[in-house]
Structure formats: structure tokens, C-alpha cells
Amino acid sequence: MKSNIRMLFVFILVFAFAGVLLASDFLATSLNNIEVGGQNSQIVSIRFRAKTDGPLAAVRLYWIIQNPSGDSGYASGTGGHFTYSLRADANGQLGKTLATASVIRNQITENQRGNFPLVSFPPVDHLVRGQYYDIVVENVDRNPSENWASLDFLWDPIAKNQTPDVQIWISSFGGAFAPGDGGTFIGSPVALFYSDGVVQGYGDVDVGPSYPGGLECGSGYGFPTSICQ
């Protein structure tokens, strides 16, 4: 009996500390943003392990493009100008450019602060299932330290590398890429659409007790329910 009580107590402590505990793929306590450009001249790479041999057709991401009232940490100036490229991966560093974005379909949120763009790529050679690739997001504004916006992902302060097939890596000041915040960023929301109909990624866009299971599925913003937790 004491053993059972102790186990229950530990479970309650973990739940209280983590904020949200899921019987699925990851723990998430909040969203966290990554400036693209900004004072640290950051470049973001969504490093993914290809789920199929088909060509990658598009990716959907989550941007914060305007600051909430009283908070200046999400965007600055004009918001910046961004490029998207699909690259070969060399142990987390960038390899050969395979494709650059051909069409970007923005989907601005009702409060005008968020954007869930669908970024399409032209047909390229088939990817190799199980091999890593990088989708690189770079701010090419003339003054990226003043004009920038943020990519937003789920996050947990302790658990690391929870979505090994979709990782968030960052380069600062032109340096080597490394897992963002020590690997505590979660690859959600990220949706990867392949030309053969396969979808990969994680489609949850927010955390909170009012959502089923503690996470909000981004189906209203173009993330398939099949990749929500």
C-alpha cells in the first residue's frame, strides 16, 4: 500500500511541475518564440527525418508577427523579410540546397498577431526515407537586427529532444547550428506535406487546461488532425 501511495504522489508532483502531462509523444508547458534575425542574428532550421521517399511539397509553420499589448519580445520594426530553403543535412549543419520556396500562402490569425503560412517547394528529387534534412528560415531584411518576427513552438523547460524526427535547431551570429535552448523546443506546430500524400509532424499550437488533453489542435489553421496529440 505504501508503495502505491508513493507512486501516486510522484505522479502528482510530475504533473504539477510539468503543467501538462500527455500519454502520447511529449510534455509541453508553454509556447516559446525564436527570433529570426534580431539582436542575435538567428537562423532557424527545422531538422526532420524524412518519413517517406516522396518529394517534400510544403511545410506549415507558426509565426508571431505582432507583439501583444505591453510585450515587445516577439516582433520588431517591419517584421523582416524571410527565405525558406530545403537543404541536405550534415549532422545538424547545412548541406547542399535542394530547393527554395516557390509559393507562400499566408494565413493570418483573427487578432492579426499570428501567421500560419503554407510554404510550398517546387518538385525536387525524392528524399531518402529515414535521412535527415533541414528547412532553413533566414531573415534577409537589410536590417534584420531591427526588423524581425518570431517562429513559435511548444516548449518544456526540462525535457529534451522529445520529437527526434522534427527538431528545432538555431544558429546565432553565423555560428554552428545547435538544438534550440538545449533541445527543449518541441517540433510542434510543424506540418510537412509530401507529394505522395504523406503528412509528417506535430499539429498542436497551444497549451492549456481548457483543451482536450491539455493541447490545442491547430486544425483550424491548416494542421491535419492526424498529427495532433
| Structural domain harbouring 160 | 2-227
pLDDT tens-digit series, residues 99-145: 999 999 999 999 999 999 999 999 887 899 999 999 999 999 999 99
Q: Is residue 14 over pLDDT 80? A: no
Q: Which of 168, 190, 208, 228 is nearest to 46 (CA)?
A: 168
pLDDT at residue number 15: 31
**pLDDT value at position 24?**
52
Q: What is the mean pLDDT of residues 1-25?
A: 36
Domain count, the chain: 1
pLDDT digits (tens, 9 = 90+) for 34-64: 999 999 999 999 999 999 999 999 999 999 9
